[in-house]
Amino acid sequence: MYANCPVDKHFAYNSAPSKTVRQFLMSETESRDFIRQIISDDLESGKHQQITTRFPPEPNGYLHIGHVMSICLNFGVTEETGGRTYLRFDDTNPGKESSEYVEAIKRDVRWLGFDWGGRLTHASDYFNKLYDAAIKLVEMGVAYVDSLSAEEIRSYRGTLTEPGKNSPHRDRSVKENLDLLARMRAGEFDDGEMVLRAKIDMSSPNMNLRDPALYRIRHVEHQHTGNTWCIYPMYDFAHTLSDAFEEITHSLCTLEFEDHRPLYNWFLDQLEPRHRPRQIEFSRLNLAYAITSKRKLNALVEEGIVEGWDDPRMPTIAGMRRRGYPAAALRDFVHRAGVTKKDKLIEMGVLENSVREILGEEAPRRMAVLKPLKVVLTNYPENTVEMMEAMNHPARPEFGTRELPFSRELWIEQDDFMEEAPRKFFRLKPGGEVRLRFGYIIRCDEVIKNDAGEVIELRCSYDPETRSGSANSDRKVKGTIHWVSCAESIDASVRLYDRLFTVANPNTAEDFHAVMNADSLQTVAAKLEPSLAALENDEPVQFERLGYFCADSESEDESVFNRIVTLRDSWAKLEKQAMQEQE
Ligand code: ATP
Ligand code: MG
């Protein structure tokens, strides 16, 4: 029955390890996590010549940062050892699953940089074979059709401290069971009327072994098999056998499946498939101030709390991509988090640092003003525009330069001016001087206010001798600020994102609604330098002194930008300041 499995068999077993395997075995052993160590041992001992893994998402939602870890592990170990990885949709639960999710998952895995190379499968591809396996278990006398209701089954199951009791239908004859199973499949019963169960041990201390369900009746259309089936296999059964059919060598899953391993092995012991996978568990990755449960993420979407699965505040791959996180930063982050058996809650700052590190090197610099305050240079000629040369990256001359228009009326950042400034404020204050980056030194002569007493404009004068790059440009002032020219600037709506939750571990909150950050999105009307109109859609840039930004890919209006991440971790900065004050 395991002969014609619809998976590829096109690789040759060699007795000599391949070059990639040899390279892997010779690589630094200290950097290996415990799973890579097991894999290395198995390759070294010759137990396996080639490693096969799978990433098995259920298509009932979009992938999140936790899945990134599983993807990088499963695809990573086979990339390193020249093995192969299946992308297998674990689609045994119709009703909650959809082809929208299937397509989103494929897009996300590809974007992360991994290639399943034609090994795209579904648990539902094996529905015939799984059904045959169920018949075999019935014939062996180790599975039976139960007609207890779901509630009765629950009450018969016992508790962690009390053994369960046998169903009155447990000892049905093989013949009767085969007949009932066939009729279940033929659609003669309603949902929940019958269930196929494994006959293991109702008093086992492991609840998973108390005659677990193998098949249940669901008269629901399936996103992949349509109306072919009205009975669907349970996860543990389908998962174990799908692993065996695909000849998965190392079935890597998260720790909550540790208790399921005895059942996994029970299926393999009973059915003795030609290939026996080994299940290994590792701990889930949890990100602080974020939730990593598809059910809860779905609730955020359904309740309209966020814009969608790809809202840039979501810890989904689609959200982080739209936010502007590079795929390489996500891979770097999970690498830093490591594969262990210990529960982890990793600071958002660690992820943000991975993002900053990559963008710091890659992102060209641009000028933008998020909260504009007008500056008029009273001694600068009207109707004149000078082009200033600006470096695209301070550390990478190969990025070249661009021209920035400079004129009599400019925007600067509101925060860069203080009327009553403390002594150590080195930006603009009345009577004070500051350098405009790539421009001139200016002095603030006059502060204009509206009737409400708010500062609405600064009258300044510029020193024509101090143009950046000119002979006298080294006249020193303490502060340098960014700016854009009013007439040439473009308007943009810039979205500033913050954490979605106010507590480090919203996963454990009784009601996550109670710990949502009401200020997770702030939109400002910003002014950008004109070159940003020609920005490639997915190109991230640094707005000097402000952070990393990208054009929002989902907005029809071209001038919507997302803040990817600030320049420094403002939390870390506060901590550092506090520590310095103590010194
Ligand atoms: P969720 O709780 O979000 O629904 P799940 O485990 O039910 O997650 P699946 O689609 O079944 O979601 O997950 C596919 C694979 O990703 C599984 O092998 C699972 O173990 C792994 N995975 C899911 N969440 C995490 C996580 N937080 N950290 C590491 N791996 C994870
Ligand atoms: Mg799951």
**CATH classification at residue 38:** 3.40.50.620
Q: For the whole model, what pTM was predicted? A: 0.91
For the segment 169-213, what is each residue's pLDDT rounded down to a tens digit?
999 999 999 999 999 999 999 999 999 999 999 999 999 999 999
Rounded CA-CA distance 393/364 in Å is 6
Protein residue with least CA distance to atom 16, ligand 1: 67
Query: 78 lies in a domain?
Result: yes
Query: 343 lies in a domain?
Result: yes
* Nearest CA-CA partner of 43 in 86, 83, 87: 83
Ligand 1, residue 56: give the atom nearest the CA. Answer: 14
Q: Which residue has the tokens 């002032």?
A: 477
Among candidate residues 129, 261, 294, 313, the one labeled active-site is 294
Q: Is 257 helix (H, G, I), strand (E, B) or coil?
A: helix
Q: How far does the centroid of ligand 1 lie from the alpha carbon of residue 130, in Å?
A: 23
- The two tokens of residue 85 are 């990885």
Q: How far does the centroid of ligand 2 lie from the alpha carbon of residue 257, in Å?
A: 9
Q: How far does the centroid of ligand 1 lie from the alpha carbon of residue 296, in Å?
A: 13
Domain extent, residue 130, equals 2-282
Q: Are both 341 and 428 inside the same structural domain? A: no
pLDDT computed for residue 7 by the predictor:
45
Q: Are both 226 and 95 inside the same structural domain? A: yes
Q: Nearest ligand to the C-alpha of residue 293? A: 1
Q: Is 294 a catalytic residue?
A: yes
Please measure the distance between the N-terminal and C-terminal CA atoms of the chain and give it in whole angstroms: 73
Q: How far does the centroid of ligand 2 lie from the alpha carbon of residue 102, in Å?
A: 15
Q: Are both 435 and 554 inside the same structural domain? A: no
Protein residue with least CA distance to atom 4, ligand 1: 294
- The two tokens of residue 162 are 């009390």
pLDDT computed for residue 310 by the predictor:
97
Q: Is 58 a catalytic residue?
A: yes
Q: Are both 255 and 180 inside the same structural domain? A: yes
pLDDT computed for residue 572 by the predictor:
55
Q: Are both 160 and 32 inside the same structural domain? A: yes
Domain edge (last residue) among 259, 282, 305: 282
Protein residue with least CA distance to atom 18, ligand 1: 253
- On whether the CB atoms of residues 28 and 37 are closer than 8 A, the answer is no
DSSP 8-state assignment for residue 207: G
Protein residue with least CA distance to atom 26, ligand 1: 66
* DSSP per-residue letters across 264-308: HHHHHHHH--SS--EEEEEPPEEETTS---HHHHHHHHHTTSSSS
For the segment 302-341, what is each residue's pLDDT rounded down to a tens digit?
999 999 999 999 999 999 999 999 999 999 999 999 999 9
Q: In a mutational test of the pocket of ligand 1, which residue from 72, 92, 248, 254 has the highest number of ligand atoms less than 8 Å from its CB? A: 254
Rounded CA-CA distance 537/336 in Å is 29
Q: Are both 300 and 415 inside the same structural domain? A: no
Q: Are both 466 and 551 inside the same structural domain? A: no
Among candidate residues 22, 106, 119, 284, the one labeled active-site is 284
Query: 129 lies in a domain?
Result: yes
Q: Are both 337 and 374 inside the same structural domain? A: no
Query: 347 lies in a domain?
Result: yes
Backbone angles phi, psi at 123, to 5 degrees: -55, -35
For the segment 488-525, what is each residue's pLDDT rounded down to a tens digit?
999 999 999 999 999 999 988 999 999 999 999 999 99
Q: Is 462 helix (H, G, I), strand (E, B) or coil?
A: strand
- The answer to whether residue 155 scores a pLDDT higher than 60 is yes
Q: How many CB atoms lie within 10 A of CB 181?
A: 23
Rounded CA-CA distance 130/43 in Å is 30
Domain edge (last residue) among 460, 482, 504: 482
Ligand 1, residue 293: give the atom nearest the CA. Answer: 3
CB contact set of 384 (below 8 Å; sequence gap of 6+):
407, 408
Q: Nearest ligand to the C-alpha of residue 66? A: 1
| Residues at CB less than 6 angstroms from ligand 1 | 56-58, 66-67, 69-70, 90, 253-254, 284-285, 292-294
Domain count, the chain: 3
Ligand 1, residue 254: give the atom nearest the CA. Answer: 20
Protein residue with least CA distance to atom 22, ligand 1: 67
Q: How far does the centroid of ligand 1 lie from the alpha carbon of residue 56, in Å?
A: 9
Q: Are both 42 and 169 inside the same structural domain? A: yes
For the segment 332-353, what is each residue's pLDDT rounded down to a tens digit?
999 999 999 998 899 999 999 9
- The answer to whether residue 357 scores a pLDDT higher than 50 is yes
For the segment 457-490, what is each residue's pLDDT rounded down to a tens digit?
999 999 999 999 887 667 889 999 999 999 999 9
Query: 487 lies in a domain?
Result: no
Query: 521 lies in a domain?
Result: yes
Domain edge (last residue) among 482, 510, 543: 482
**CATH classification at residue 350:** 2.40.240.10
- The answer to whether residue 9 scores a pLDDT higher than 50 is no
Q: Is 576 a catalytic residue?
A: no
Q: In a mutational test of the pocket of ligand 1, which residue from 63, 65, 70, 339 has the highest number of ligand atoms less than 8 Å from its CB? A: 70
